[in-house]
């Protein structure tokens, strides 16, 4: 049995929909705008269950018009406070050890970003991933970490004898990994953590797969995406919590920041993030909004502004810092 509020909505809507004629236009006797706003998933699933495929297609079009008209979810009155809460505040962070660094910047999508929601019901067959509580479209911290790892590998920085120490510091290792042959039961989390990035708006795109023989497509695929020009906070925090040897924390942080800077630029600009990156989805602009790299040394945070991803690659925070 499915315990979901959409199931109860379907039970109430089914008798009403069974009496409707299956046409290309939505009958005026029902308030379809309200259904698109308040119960889109239940309405879409009930129309399919009532064997009204044409009405289901028409309702999806109504729902798309409603979603395109929204500039924030679930309500714009939440947007300023919610976006402000996403940004990490150095003053509110605990007393992190020396060698820690924080990168935060507002990125702008150059191409649409595609993610996949795992919700039980959805109006779109390819819905964007959303926060379960607030329904804001987002890319999860775990997705950032996976995309970053792939970008670093494509840069040629694989886990070999030369880079094993940096690799294990950044990503950590599991008990069965080859990191601790002398201590096979040990494991450790990585020093680098990412934050979930939220966006305000979704839009729709169509992919039309082509037949290799006929060179034409007949079954377009609708995708719900976060559109280009949307902005969101990208944040990553590096913390040497494993207490490196005295004097080694800064040297290790410098080495790991070099990998982080090159990997982040490659991920956001070249290899992409989210789904279908091979066809151009999931790319950010080089310019950054309110970009900053903050490093911790001698118990004090030092901040350095960053205007672009290209500029971050050549940055040396421990040698060119400015107090803030």
Span of 47-56, 78-87, 272-281 with lowest mean pLDDT: 78-87
3-state DSSP of the chain: CCCCHHHHHHHHHHHHHHCCCCCCCCCCCCCHHHHHHHCHHHHHHHHHHCCCHHHHHHHHHHHHHHHHHCCCCCCHHHHHHHHHHHCCCHHHCCCCCCCCEEEEEEEEECCCECCCCCCCCCCCCCCCCECCCCCCEEECHHHHHHHHHHHHHHCCCCCCCCCHHHHHHHHEECCCCHHHCCCCCCCEECCEEECCEECCCCEEEEECCCCCCCCCCCCCEEEEEECCCCEEEEEEEECCCCCCCCCHHHHHHHHHHHHHHHHHHHHHHHHCCCCCHHHCCCCECCEEEEEEEEEEECCEEEEEEEEEHHHHHCCCCCCCCEEC
Give the confidence band of 94 by pLDDT, cuts at 50, 70, 90. Answer: confident
Question: For residue 25, what are the contacts with CB-CB under 8 A and spacing of at least 6?
Answer: 58
| Range 192-208 average pLDDT | 88
Span of 29-33, 116-120, 148-152 with lowest mean pLDDT: 116-120
| Range 85-106 average pLDDT | 86
Asked if pLDDT for residue 85 goes beyond 50, the answer is: yes
Neighbouring-strand partners of residue 295 = 101, 302
**How many whole angstroms separate alpha carbon 59 and alpha carbon 63?**
6
Q: What is the pLDDT of residue 1?
A: 37
Dihedral angle sign, alpha carbons of residues 75, 80, 81, 82: positive
Mean pLDDT, the chain, rounded, equals: 82
Q: What is the pLDDT of residues 288-322, one digit of tens each?
A: 998 999 999 888 889 999 999 999 998 888 775 44
CB 103 within 8 A of CB 288: no
- pTM beyond 0.85: the answer is no
Give 153 or 120, the one with higher predicted confidence. 153
Give the confidence band of 159 by pLDDT, cuts at 50, 70, 90. Answer: low
The winner for highest mean pLDDT among 22-26, 181-185, 245-249 is 22-26
Q: What is the pLDDT of residue 45?
A: 83
**How many whole angstroms separate alpha carbon 223 and alpha carbon 116?**
9
* Residue 239, both tokens: 């913390």
Q: What is the pLDDT of residues 21-31, one digit of tens each?
A: 888 888 888 88
Question: For residue 181, what are the contacts with CB-CB under 8 A and spacing of at least 6?
Answer: none
Q: What is the pLDDT of residue 324?
A: 47
Tokens 């979603």 sit at which residue?
A: 67
Give 106 or 182, the one with higher predicted confidence. 106
The winner for highest mean pLDDT among 114-118, 215-219, 227-231 is 227-231
Give the confidence band of 6 by pLDDT, cuts at 50, 70, 90. Answer: low
Asked if pLDDT for residue 72 goes beyond 50, the answer is: no
Q: What is the pLDDT of residue 228?
A: 94
Q: Indicate the burial class of 297 (C-beta count within 10 angstroms; 0-12, 13-18, 19 or more).
A: middle
Burial 77-110 (b: 16+ CB within 10 A, else e): eebeebbeebeeeeeeeeebeebbbbbbbbbbbb
**How many whole angstroms separate alpha carbon 289 and alpha carbon 111?**
17
**How many whole angstroms separate alpha carbon 97 and alpha carbon 253?**
11
Q: What is the pLDDT of residue 75?
A: 47
- In the chain, the percentage of residues whose pLDDT exceeds 70 is 83
Give the confidence band of 161 by pLDDT, cuts at 50, 70, 90. Answer: low
CB 264 within 8 A of CB 148: yes
Q: What is the pLDDT of residue 2?
A: 41
Asked if pLDDT for residue 163 goes beyond 70, the answer is: no
Q: What is the pLDDT of residue 77?
A: 56
Asked if pLDDT for residue 261 goes beyond 90, the answer is: yes
Q: What is the pLDDT of residue 48?
A: 86
Q: What is the pLDDT of residue 73?
A: 47
Asked if pLDDT for residue 323 goes beyond 70, the answer is: no
- In the chain, the percentage of residues whose pLDDT exceeds 90 is 31
Asked if pLDDT for residue 13 goes beyond 60, the answer is: yes
């Amino acid at each position: 049995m499915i315990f979901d509020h959409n199931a109860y909505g379907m039970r109430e809507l089914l008798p009403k929909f069974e009496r409707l004629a299956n046409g290309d236009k939505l009958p005026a006797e029902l308030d379809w705008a309200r259904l698109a706003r308040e119960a889109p998933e239940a309405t879409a699933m009930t129309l399919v269950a009532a064997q009204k495929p044409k009405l289901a297609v028409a309702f999806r079009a109504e729902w798309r018009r409603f979603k395109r008209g929204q500039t924030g979810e679930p309500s714009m009155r939440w947007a300023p406070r919610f976006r402000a809460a996403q940004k990490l505040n150095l003053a509110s962070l605990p007393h992190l050890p020396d060698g820690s660094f924080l990168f935060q910047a507002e990125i702008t999508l150059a191409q649409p970003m595609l993610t996949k929601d795992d919700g039980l019901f959805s109006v779109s067959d390819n819905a964007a991933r959303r926060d379960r509580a607030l329904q804001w479209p987002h890319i999860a911290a775990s997705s950032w970490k996976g995309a970053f790892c792939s970008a670093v590998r494509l840069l040629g920085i694989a886990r070999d004898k030369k880079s094993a120490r940096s690799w294990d510091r950044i990503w950590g290792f599991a008990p069965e990994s080859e990191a601790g042959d002398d201590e096979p039961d040990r494991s450790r989390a990585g020093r680098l953590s990412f934050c979930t990035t939220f966006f305000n708006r979704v839009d729709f795109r169509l992919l039309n797969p082509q037949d290799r023989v006929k060179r034409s497509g007949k079954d377009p695929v609708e995708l719900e995406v976060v559109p280009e020009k949307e902005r969101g906070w990208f944040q990553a925090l590096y913390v040497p919590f494993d207490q490196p040897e005295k004097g080694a924390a800064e040297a290790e942080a410098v080495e790991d920041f070099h990998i982080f800077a090159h990997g982040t630029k490659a991920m956001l600009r070249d290899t992409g993030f989210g789904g279908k990156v091979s066809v151009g989805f999931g790319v950010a602009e080089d310019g950054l909004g309110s970009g900053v790299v903050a490093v911790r040394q001698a118990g004090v945070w030092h901040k350095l502004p960053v205007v672009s991803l290209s500029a971050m690659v050549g940055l040396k925070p421990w040698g060119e810092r400015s107090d803030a």
